[in-house]
Amino acid sequence: MVRQKIQIKKIDNLTARQVTFSKRRRGLFKKAQELSTLCDAEIALIVFSATGKLFDYSSSSMMQLIQRHNMQSEKSNKFGQQPLHTQMGSSNHGMISKELTDLTTELKQLMGEELQGLGMNDLMKLEKMVETGLSRVGKTKNEKLFTEISKLKTRQAELIEENEWLKQQAEKFDCTRNAMEQGSSVESMTNSLGLVHCPEEEDRAVSDTSLKLGLPFSNGN
């Protein structure tokens, strides 16, 4: 029996913790549902047990709620510390989400009204209409998402290419420095840029290079 109020800290006993988790989790989900029903709120609840098991509830679509959440929390974010492309992405999702919501609502209403006095054949036709409508929304949504993915991939390819080039440059310079330290004159070194063979260069990790690069400056830092 609950003779004492418990402390809100991690329960030591494993069994007790599991039992409590199970019971309180149910309670929490029940409360969430009740709140949703009573007050017409939209709720998403995600719970991972300590063992990694997933429990979730959402009053409507989990995805839509999550997207809405992303939108809202981004809006309250004064300055996007994030690069442009990520901002574009999210707002894009928001637009899609709204579109989807609007159209779905419209279709549902349409269907609800029509249903009042129609026969089977008409119902079948309506079903078709709804399917078509949903399919069109889905298609649009897909197109936007795929466009975004495509853009991201393109950008990524550019970045990778740029990085590769930069790394190569870095390696060349690195090589140059080695040559210098071996006593080459500045002139010959300059001329041999990119031609001096660097034995350790090929499979050297970039981090190694970076260490070398950073070394001469370490005094100054």
Go through the chain and tell me how many residues it has: 221
Q: Which does 189 bind (CB under 5 to 8 A by kind): DNA, a copy of itself, none?
A: a copy of itself
Q: Which does 120 bind (CB under 5 to 8 A by kind): DNA, a copy of itself, none?
A: a copy of itself
The CB-of-1 to a copy of itself minimum distance in angstroms stands at 18
Q: Which does 1 bind (CB under 5 to 8 A by kind): a copy of itself, DNA, none?
A: DNA
Neighbours of 167 (CB within 10 A): 13
Which of 26/136 has CB closer to DNA? 26
**In the chain, what is the greatest distance between 2 CA atoms, to the nearest angstrom?**
96
Q: Which does 115 bind (CB under 5 to 8 A by kind): DNA, a copy of itself, none?
A: a copy of itself
| Alpha carbon 78 to its chain's center | 20
Task: Write the burial class of residue 173 (CB in 10 Å: 0-12 exposed, 13-18 middle, 19+ buried).
Answer: middle
Q: Which does 147 bind (CB under 5 to 8 A by kind): a copy of itself, DNA, none?
A: none
The CB-of-46 to a copy of itself minimum distance in angstroms stands at 4
Structure tokens at 158: 């550019």
The CB-of-78 to a copy of itself minimum distance in angstroms stands at 16
Phi, psi of 197 (to 5 degrees): -85, 130
CA distance 151 to 153: 5
Residue 130, SS3 per DSSP: helix
The CB-of-22 to DNA minimum distance in angstroms stands at 5
Structure tokens at 33: 């549902």
Q: Interface residues with DNA (CB under 7 A)? A: 1-6, 15-16, 18-20, 22-24, 26-28, 30-31, 38, 51
The CB-of-212 to a copy of itself minimum distance in angstroms stands at 6
The CA-atom distances, in angstroms, between 120 and each of 4, 97, 106, 109 are 62, 32, 22, 18
Q: Rounded to the nearest 5 degrees, what angle is found at the Cα of 142, between the Cα atoms of 78 and 133? A: 110
Which of 5/197 has CB closer to DNA? 5
Q: Which does 109 bind (CB under 5 to 8 A by kind): a copy of itself, DNA, none?
A: none
Which of 1/120 has CB closer to DNA? 1
The CA-atom distances, in angstroms, between 211 and each of 27, 171, 172, 181 are 55, 12, 15, 16
The CB-of-11 to DNA minimum distance in angstroms stands at 7
Which of 19/206 has CB closer to DNA? 19
Which of 21/173 has CB closer to DNA? 21
